[in-house]
Structure 1
């Protein structure tokens, strides 16, 4: 009897052990499947170009820059820790293509890259420009560069873009500062790079004998790239970017970096030079005056005449300085291609116009204008054609601003905006239709019938401004109306409702 009880106890213990082992194996298998289904394991590795300040750069082994801050904020939105490494751009692209890293920051799509990567929604606007030696009148655009040596970063967007120009000798550069020095030494004729990065280096290093050509070679939005076919990660990144735009996280990050724009450095350097020059002039005048007083004490009447003359000269010099400053400020507000206001000029003039309309309780209308299928036009007829039609559209809009306080600005790329004071939405729509038809007729006369043609989409919004209404609301409404015009088939005028 005792043996039977002992056998039952042993069988019970064996059964408990088998159940315990089975549960352990089941738990281990679940953990393994979880890890296999989550290859990123809570961390995403983003790579970027180490030589693109202030967009992304390496500082003592740490990645910094506006896109680094965007990537960190993106990680918080999607529930991942994002690690960013700034490194050689060619190595970065190869690692992501081979699956050794998760994503590339600040990369511009093209046909070749589309075969290797999938791209996110828009990140930052990239304006690729020519940088040449100051005063170089022979190298102002790509058609002037036959037989010239142009510096580009290996496997960058400018590198792949310029591969289509075999008559240009491409020289691979390791860094922008060294490349600009090679221009000074006549080892290079030009450098093509993102305008923000290039102007940042010029301002940071106080390089004054290199200039940027105002007309962009190419303007498009950069993206985040992932390995081809990684749809799950791409959807995750896009959802995070959308959330950042909706809750204004993206706007806050860009606001923190806006003083790294080249205007900050250009005006800062210029201001310091002017202040130092003025101090030196004043000190020299004081020394001359003191010497004159001590030497010609008895000739007080003559001295007074001399002092009055010096004072007049100083005033004239100061007047000229103010005129020069005013001219510099005016040029900073103009778009180099179209000669209408640029975005900086628009922000200033629009703010003043809004305040005036609030005081006068008069209607204010905005017309947002976009050239339809502009990229297709560029691809078909060339970038010089695109630049010419951007100027024509700007000139046509300008010809319709009949009142002194109406104005036109280039809002970005091929997008223009008209600000019409004391104008209702219907009056603005009537004017917009005339503009649209004039451009269409002009294009019909000049362009081939079997090719793409130039048309405009226009979005209109109008309101009576008040202190309780933000000026940005009217801009947003005009932009929404423009979107509706595009969605309705383009070549249309739509009033926001």
Structure 2
């Protein structure tokens, strides 16, 4: 199996030496052992990953946010790994409170990223006209912010949480577009893989101390221990790590 992967911490992490880790990587490696798959990872950008997937050059791409547009030309597994959403970040010297503050501002975005598409559609609906600066990864978004070369940048909330201190950037209160992050497959060719991955994910989610819960605790410090109504202190659901209002799963009390 050839697995496309791009750097998107903490979901997928590619170190300076090329070592791979992260929630989606750890889970796929665990599933591969159980299913006796031989996995070769193919690193690149998200744009390269999607193009390789469409061309059948890789069998799976991780991670990949589900969207109605992408499902037209790609397949997804059915069991959500985690829920993510977009967040606006700024340099420490600037502050933004609402989408209206983006009018006329230079906003760094990642090509082919779902959050970029969602923001662009939203801005057009409200006649807000940012100046988009397209780059190939979240790290480049934060690098532009750090050097005050843009006024704002859009990243996934998990990447922001993991890297805002490293790049010395500021999180704004502007969040949007909750999305289900899964695995992507070439259109019409991944049914056996999808079935196996969904089966393994379903089993892991239902088992305390499974590789799924271990991955969440390792990379997000979200524990599977007993908590009120199945939510942590920040209101994250244990099943998908989404906020209560954005959660795609039913949050139930743990016993």
TM category (shorter chain) comes to 0.7 to 0.9
Distance in 2 (alpha carbons) for counterparts of 1:152 and 1:70: 28
Conserved 8 A contact 1:145-1:168? yes
Q: Which residue of 1 aligns with 2:51?
A: 94
Report the count of equivalent residues: 231
TM-score by length of 2: 0.79
Higher strand share: 2
Q: Which residue of 2 aligns with 1:358?
A: none
Q: Deviations over 1:102-132 (max 9, x none)?
A: 1111211222201111111201121210001
Give unpaired runs (5+ residues) of structure 2: 223-230
1:172 is the counterpart of 2:147: no
Cα–Cα, structure 1 residues 346 and 118, in superposed 2: closer, same or farther, change >3 Å?
closer
Q: Which residue of 1 aligns with 2:199?
A: 239
Distance in 2 (alpha carbons) for counterparts of 1:256 and 1:199: 14
Distance in 2 (alpha carbons) for counterparts of 1:168 and 1:413: 30
Conserved 8 A contact 1:78-1:237? no
**SS in structure 2 of the partner of residue 250 of structure 1:** helix
Q: Which residue of 1 aligns with 2:227?
A: none
TM-score by length of 1: 0.42
RMSD: 2.8
Question: Which of 1 and 2 has greater Rg?
Answer: 1
Distance in 1 (alpha carbons) for counterparts of 2:24 and 2:183: 10
Cα–Cα, structure 1 residues 345 and 152, in superposed 2: closer, same or farther, change >3 Å?
closer
Q: Which residue of 1 aligns with 2:253?
A: 475
Give the alignment partner of residue 87 of structure 2, picking from 126, 129, 137. 129
Q: Which residue of 2 aligns with 1:257?
A: 219
Cα–Cα, structure 1 residues 133 and 97, in superposed 2: closer, same or farther, change >3 Å?
same
Distance in 2 (alpha carbons) for counterparts of 1:415 and 1:113: 20
Distance in 1 (alpha carbons) for counterparts of 2:87 and 2:178: 9
Q: Which residue of 2 aligns with 1:331?
A: none
Higher relative contact order (CA 8 A, sep 6+): 2
Q: Deviations over 1:364-393 (max 9, x none)?
A: xxxx9xxxxxxxxxxxxxxxxxxxxxxxxx
Conserved 8 A contact 1:77-1:244? no
Conserved 8 A contact 1:117-1:228? yes
1:225 is the counterpart of 2:225: no
Cα–Cα, structure 1 residues 127 and 84, in superposed 2: closer, same or farther, change >3 Å?
same
Higher helix share: 1
